Amino acid sequence: MKYAARRLLHSLLLLAGVSILSFLFADLAPGDFFSEMRLQPGVDAQTVAALRARQGLDRPLPLRYAAWLASMARGEFGHSLAYNSAVGPLLAQRIPGTLLLTATATLLAWLLAIPLGVWSAARRGTWRDSILKVILSILLSIPELLLAIIFLAIAVETAWFPVGGMHAPGAESLPAPDRFRDTLRHLAIPVLVLVLGMAPVLVRHVRSAVAETMDSPFALAARAQGIPRRRLFFRHLLPAALNPLISLFGFSLGTLLSASLLVEVLVGWPGLGPLFLEAIMARDFALVLGVVMSSTTLLIAGNLVADLLLYRADPRIHTS
């Protein structure tokens, strides 16, 4: 319990650090939302200065940060100039999209990676293992960007899967099972790209973690006892190999969120990715910060879960 509280406090400090750093960095950066406006003829410097003053952008940095903290407490997370609304609700619309996509992809990738990894570790050094290794290396060398472009083109050409968005138009009126199926069909392409990008890395790590435990004396003893292979691998070796894999779960989340950003933009998935890109193009600082904080929270939360899982799985951490 004390461990959990300490990790939580650490996560909150990290979030605070990221927000302060973002404010500092934005303050040093040239130009803002209104400097794009200056390019239009008929908008003079006074107008821009007045607009800046009205948004409170001319106040000193600590005051602006305090104002942002206050608005965060109200759930607004600042004011988006491009959308002319509070950032909070904008984020709330998009976070479920990213969560749904990444959670599905993570689940599928691990479900695929664990049996495959164990399978190839059990066949270490055989031709099947080598073939899998080559296939994984090739998959790892294909950029997700390229995968997404190709799958999108195939999906559009064959009309097997819908492309763009999360629901078909008018899906709200459908009965619940149909709506569920509709969302699943929309998930297919982005999840496929993410799983193909992520699973090879996971399989390689599962394989090496399990292969390492295979050499330990207890594995030899278990084999000598005549424990069936399948039981040996899944009940004895896999749990012993779990530690690095739980850490990997935390690390892989960052990569997954990054890949998800790109895939979301490409397939028009209503997640944080497209919102982020819009915010960048519009130089909408509050929105950029909002997305940065959301993605950081997602990643830190994932790492926190991994830490706590590791704490549960490995009694050695209790003592340190």
Partner 1 sequence: MKLRLTLAFLAAFHAAVLFAAFLAPYHYAEQHRDYPFAPPTRIHFTDAAGRFHPRPFVYAIAQDTPGGDFREDPARLYPIHFLVHGRLFGVAAPGVLFIWGSDAFGRDVFSRVLYGGQVSLLTGLVAAFLSLSLGLLWGTLAGFYGGWVDRLLMRGGELFLALPWLYLLLAVRAFLPLHISTTQAFFLLVAIIGAVGWVRPARIVRHVDLNARERGFVLAARGFGANGPYLMRRHILPLTWSVVLTQATVLIPRYILAEVTLSFLGLGVGEPVPSWGNMLAEARQYHTLIAHPWMLAPGLATIPLLFAYLTLADILLERPAPNGTAQPTGKP
Considering the rule CB under 8 A, would residue 192 count as an interface residue with partner 1? no
Q: Which of 262, 286, 306, 310 binds partner 1 (CB under 8 A)?
A: 262
3 state SS for the chain = CHHHHHHHHHHHHHHHHHHHHHHHHHHHCCCCHHHHHCCCCCCCHHHHHHHHHHCCCCCCHHHHHHHHHHHHHCCCCCEECCCCEEHHHHHHHHHHHHHHHHHHHHHHHHHHHHHHHHHHHHCCCCHHHHHHHHHHHHHHHCCHHHHHHHHHHHHHHHCCCCCCCCCCCCHHHCCHHHHHHHHHHHHHHHHHHHHHHHHHHHHHHHHHHHHHHHCCHHHHHHHHCCCCHHHHHHHHHHHHCHHHHHHHHHHHHHHHHHHHHHHHHHHCCCCHHHHHHHHHHHCCHHHHHHHHHHHHHHHHHHHHHHHHHHHHHCCHHHHC
Q: How many residues bind partner 1 (CB under 8 A)?
A: 56
In the complex, least distance from residue 202 CB atom to partner 1, rounded to whole angstroms: 9
In the complex, least distance from residue 237 CB atom to partner 1, rounded to whole angstroms: 20
Considering the rule CB under 8 A, would residue 186 count as an interface residue with partner 1? no
CB-nearer residue toward partner 1: 196 or 232: 196
Considering the rule CB under 8 A, would residue 116 count as an interface residue with partner 1? no
**Which residue in 255, 263, 136 sits closest to 188, CA to CA?**
263
Q: In the range 231-250, which residues lie near partner 1 by CB under 8 A?
A: 248
**Which residue in 186, 62, 211, 66 sits closest to 133, CA to CA?**
211
Q: Which of 55, 71, 258, 309 binds partner 1 (CB under 8 A)?
A: 258
Reading the block at residue 94, the tokens are 């998009």
In the complex, least distance from residue 72 CB atom to partner 1, rounded to whole angstroms: 17
Binding segment (CB under 8 A) for partner 1, from list 40-48, 59-67, 171-179, 273-281: 273-281
267, 186 in Cβ contact below 8 A? no
Considering the rule CB under 8 A, would residue 145 count as an interface residue with partner 1? yes
Q: Which of 105, 232, 296, 310 binds partner 1 (CB under 8 A)?
A: 296
Binding segment (CB under 8 A) for partner 1, from list 10-18, 54-62, 174-182, 312-320: 10-18
Considering the rule CB under 8 A, would residue 281 count as an interface residue with partner 1? yes
Q: Which of 143, 180, 181, 235 binds partner 1 (CB under 8 A)?
A: 143
CB-nearer residue toward partner 1: 232 or 299: 299
Considering the rule CB under 8 A, would residue 213 count as an interface residue with partner 1? no
**Which residue in 38, 210, 190 sits closest to 121, CA to CA?**
210
Residues pairing with 86 in the sheet: 79
Q: Which of 70, 280, 301, 317 binds partner 1 (CB under 8 A)?
A: 280
Considering the rule CB under 8 A, would residue 142 count as an interface residue with partner 1? yes
Binding segment (CB under 8 A) for partner 1, from list 19-27, 87-95, 187-195, 306-314: 19-27
Contact residues for partner 1 (CB under 8 A)? 14-15, 17-18, 21-22, 25-26, 28-31, 137-138, 140-143, 145-146, 149-150, 152-153, 156-157, 201, 205, 248, 251-255, 257-259, 261-262, 265-266, 276-277, 279-281, 283, 285, 288, 291-292, 295-296, 298-300
